């Protein structure tokens, strides 16, 4: 699992440029799927099973990044964020552009907190010899690090969700339901891939797999979520309220299997579940969140046991017989 996660997190695919990560995922899931297709927005849609409830499982494969907006006469690149890039994490960091160019993020002295005052140094001496031009896109350059039971990488949001979906598909030898694993595009800039794929699939139930804030560091925000305490079952975030029936289904499934879990109420941010919920005439949705420290930084941290338990929970949910869905 760690080897695959290393490959997933070290693959550069910011929002709108998901080709590389899609091919990594496609290669991994090809032997496991009943059907594979790619839609017009680049979502990778994988079907397993036929009949029962039509369940959509969404894990976004894009990552936050930056885009070059201007190159000055001395070859320094000005930029903007793609997705929720936080300027406090940038100074001294490295980025890699899609064309392979690596750059270091610097800032004007005394103005370290504003992205407008930052620049990327790619080693150029003039605009003419700069290998980057306006419109070129990049992602953070940071290797996967194994810290024992804690794993650290850039783009853990949401390559860890991708990993959970892949491992659940691997464990799902059969299912009484028609399950669509959707590896979505452009989540970081507005859950766009989930919007189009949910419209096409028209699911009975939607489940997003994403990260959430782990509030167990010094002076962290007040949340009942911490690393190593199990997957978080989302109750609410700033973009959606989970269907209470889906929450109850998730909790009962976890309790029956003795899987530790947490209840998540997130004050800011949302997931693909928001778009799935509003597809067509509406879809009951929920979200399994993997607790993550330092979200939207180049060094996002998760706990191995939370990941394994998320796989177990998702797999059991997808094995649910029709008679056990209650009013869903």
For the residues of 32-76, what is the DSSP string, one character each? G-SEEEE-TT--EEEEE--SS-EEEEEEE--B-EEEEEEE-TTSP
Residues 151, 100: Cα–Cα separation, whole Å = 25
Looking at residue 258, its pLDDT comes to 98
pTM of the prediction?
0.95
Residues 138, 151: Cα–Cα separation, whole Å = 23
Residuewise pLDDT in 10s, the chain (328 residues): 999 999 999 999 999 999 999 999 999 999 999 999 999 999 999 999 998 999 999 999 999 999 999 999 999 999 999 999 998 889 999 999 999 999 999 998 776 678 889 999 999 999 999 999 999 999 999 999 999 999 999 999 999 999 999 999 999 999 999 999 999 999 999 999 999 999 999 999 999 999 999 999 998 888 999 999 999 999 999 999 999 999 999 999 999 999 999 999 999 899 999 999 999 999 999 999 999 999 999 999 999 999 999 999 999 999 999 788 888 8
Catalytic residue among 28, 187, 264, 300: 187
Residues 294, 301: Cα–Cα separation, whole Å = 7
pLDDT per residue over 128-139, tens digit each? 999 999 999 999
Residues 229, 138: Cα–Cα separation, whole Å = 34
CATH no., domain 2-63+154-324: 3.40.630.10
Burial (Cβ within 10 Å: 0-12, 13-18, ≥19) of residue 119? buried
Fold of the 69-140 domain: Elongation Factor Tu (Ef-tu); domain 3 (2.40.30)
- In the three-class reduction of DSSP (H, G, I as helix; E, B as strand; rest coil), residue 114 is classed as coil
Question: Hey, what are 91's tokens?
Answer: 């100074």
Closest CA to 92 of 110, 104, 101, 77: 104
Looking at residue 219, its pLDDT comes to 85
Is the Cα torsion angle 268, 293, 232, 165 positive or negative in sign? positive
Count of residues in the chain: 328
Residues 69, 53: Cα–Cα separation, whole Å = 46
pLDDT per residue over 160-187, tens digit each? 999 999 999 999 999 999 999 999 999 9
Residues 71, 148: Cα–Cα separation, whole Å = 42
CATH 2.40.30.40 residue ranges for the chain = 69-140
Contact 191, 201 (CB under 8 A): no
**DSSP string computed for 164-198:** HHHHHHHH-S--SSEEEEEEES-GGGTSHHHHHHH
Question: Hey, what are 122's tokens?
Answer: 């790619």
Looking at residue 140, its pLDDT comes to 94
Looking at residue 327, its pLDDT comes to 84
187 is catalytic: yes
- Burial code (b: 16+ CB inside 10 Å, e: under 16) for 77-96 equals bbbebbbebebeebeebebb
CATH 3.40.630.10 residue ranges for the chain = 2-63+154-324
Looking at residue 324, its pLDDT comes to 85
């Amino acid at each position: 699992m760690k080897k695959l996660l290393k490959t997933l997190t070290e693959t550069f695919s910011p929002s709108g440029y998901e080709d590389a990560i899609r091919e990594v995922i496609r290669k991994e899931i090809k032997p496991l799927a009943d059907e594979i297709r790619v839609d017009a927005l680049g979502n990778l849609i994988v079907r397993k099973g036929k009949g029962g409830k039509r369940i959509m499982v969404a894990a976004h494969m894009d990552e936050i990044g930056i885009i070059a907006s201007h190159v000055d006469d001395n070859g320094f690149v000005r930029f903007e964020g793609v997705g929720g890039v936080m300027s406090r994490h940038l100074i001294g960091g490295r980025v890699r552009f899609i064309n392979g160019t690596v750059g270091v993020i610097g800032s004007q002295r005394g103005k370290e907190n504003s992205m407008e005052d930052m620049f990327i140094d790619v080693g150029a001496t003039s605009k003419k010899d700069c290998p980057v031009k306006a419109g070129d896109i990049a992602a953070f350059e940071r290797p996967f690090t194994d810290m024992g039971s804690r794993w650290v990488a850039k783009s853990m949001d949401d390559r860890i969700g991708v990993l959970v979906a892949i491992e659940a598909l691997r464990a799902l030898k059969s299912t009484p339901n028609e399950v669509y694993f959707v590896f979505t595009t452009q989540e970081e800039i507005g859950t766009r891939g989930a919007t189009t794929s949910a419209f096409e699939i028209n699911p009975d139930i939607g489940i997003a797999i994403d990260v959430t804030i782990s509030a167990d560091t010094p002076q962290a925000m007040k949340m009942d979520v911490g690393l190593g305490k199990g997957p978080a079952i989302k109750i609410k975030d700033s973009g959606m309220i989970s269907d209470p029936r889906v929450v109850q289904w998730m909790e009962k499934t976890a309790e029956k299997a003795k899987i530790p879990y947490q209840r998540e109420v997130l004050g800011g941010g949302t997931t693909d579940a928001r778009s799935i919920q509003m597809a067509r005439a509406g879809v009951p949705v929920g979200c399994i969140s993997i607790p993550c420290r330092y979200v939207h930084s180049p060094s996002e941290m998760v706990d191995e046991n939370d990941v394994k338990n998320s796989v177990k929970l998702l797999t059991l949910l997808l094995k649910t017989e029709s008679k056990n869905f209650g009013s869903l």
